[in-house]
Amino acid sequence: MSDADFDWDDQRAFLTVLDTGSLSAAARALGLTQPTVRHRVEALERAVGQPLFVRGVNGLAPTPEALGLVGHVRRMAHASEAFRREAKGAASEVAGPVRLSVSDFVGIEVVPPMLVALRERHPRLVVELVLTNINTDLPGQEADVAVRMAQPSQNSLVARHVGSIPLGFFASPAYLDRNGIPETVADLTRHGMVGPDRMPAYVAVLDALGREAGGPLPIALRSDSHPAQLAAVRAGLGIGMVQVPVGERDLVRVLPDRVVFDLDTWIVAHEDVRRSARIDALFSHLVESFRAYCWR
């Protein structure tokens, strides 16, 4: 079977159906008609020589053969997207799209103010912000630049350690007006805490704090979403752990001499894509901005 039997449009339709779970959803995502998507998937099935989907109660389910192929197709999709970004911005020009991967909290609370000066300096630069709490595959070109809270281990990545972000305890002024300000760790047993649900490192912090306080800490809300925790603290539900630079904007620090722990922070990019002027502009700007944001 020759390579000409495989059409990229057919493979892209297959990947989108697999990701969305139905022909209709894939058609909307691709801007095509449902019959066109179906024909492209059927064409790929003929080229492969076996079915790629079976119809189930929840839509189309991929066959084992499809699951074996999807990794290759996804890498092609990432490469196609990287080509699009590179083609839209010449390597020597700070213009066009650059893809930045950050955690949801950092993407909502930390990065947007940092991008204002970058936008003023390079108005033709377009930042594509990806919010994910899972490390994106930079060598696989899922993103151009990432902010990570752990040192990367791949030799193909360029990483700059920009400092450590301290986490402290914070509450809203309204909460403290109603409940008073705790002066010691033991006082926390008389307050409501906003804390994690199942994240081991953060659960361990509250467990250790309870042992130090001499009793369990009352929990007002549990969530593994840091933006949700911050929203609950701002609403006055209780005392929570917040990045100190963010908490100091509109909250009151509780037990100010205590740092819960520090988040080591790294700006990361693939060594090859950093040669692009627009990617290097974002990378260098984030290094400078996070060094000002972090407490080192």
Tell me which residue range forms the domain holding 76: 8-88
The mean predicted confidence, pLDDT, of the chain is: 87
**What is the pLDDT, as a whole number, of residue 53?**
85
pLDDT surpasses 50 at 291? yes
Q: Which of 121, 96, 102 is CA-nearest to residue 276?
A: 96
pLDDT bin (cut points 50, 70, 90) of residue 68 is confident
Rounded average pLDDT over 68-95: 73
pTM exceeds 0.95: no
Identify whether 134 is part of a domain: yes
Residue 1 lies in a domain: no
pLDDT for res 92 = 60
Other Cβ atoms closer than 10 A to 173: 11
Same domain? For 148 and 283 the reply is yes
Whether residue 150 is found in the same domain as residue 171: no
CA distance 270 to 200: 30
Tell me, yes or no, whether 135 and 282 share the same domain.
yes
C-alpha span between 291 and 296 (Å, rounded): 8
Question: Does residue 28 sit in the same domain as residue 57?
Answer: yes
Q: What is the DSSP letter of 295?
A: B
Residue 245: give its domain's CATH number.
Answer: 3.40.190.10
The DSSP 8-state label assigned to residue 273 in this structure reads: G
Using pLDDT thresholds of 50, 70 and 90, give the confidence band for residue 274.
Answer: low
Residues 118 and 245 in one domain: no
Number of domains present in the structure of the chain? 3
In this structure, the strands spanning 157-171 and 239-243 are antiparallel
Residue 1 has pLDDT above 50, yes or no: no
Residue 2 falls inside a structural domain: no
pLDDT tens track for 133-175: 876 655 555 788 999 988 887 777 889 999 999 999 999 999 9
In 31-182, where does DSSP find H-type helix? 34-48, 64-88, 104-105, 111-121, 173-179
Distance of CA 150 to the CA centre of its chain: 14
**Longest distance between any two alpha carbons in the chain, whole Å:** 75
Q: Say how far apart CA 235 and CA 239 lie, in whole Å.
A: 11
Residue 3 included in any domain? no
One domain for residues 147 and 195: no
Query: What CA–CA distance (Å, rounded) separates 23 from 25?
Result: 6
Rounded Cα distance between 182 and 191, Å, is 8
Check whether residue 282 and residue 155 sit in a common domain.
Answer: yes
User: What is the tens place of the pLDDT at every residue in 113-144?
Assistant: 999 999 999 999 999 999 988 766 555 557 88
8 A C-beta contact, residue 239 and residue 172 = no
Same domain, 126 and 114: yes
| Overall average pLDDT of the 230-250 stretch | 97
Give which of 220, 245, 224, 218 is closest to 233, Cα–Cα: 220
- Residues 171 and 256 placed together within one structural domain of the fold: yes
* Average pLDDT over every residue of 222-240: 96
Where is pLDDT greater, at 126 or 21? 126
At residue 200, does pLDDT exceed 90? no
Q: Are 71 and 35 in contact (CB under 8 A)?
A: no
d(C-alpha 148, C-alpha 145), whole Å = 10
Question: Which has the closest alpha carbon to 172: 119, 121, 120, 248?
Answer: 248
Asked whether residue 197 is assigned to any structural domain, the reply reads: yes
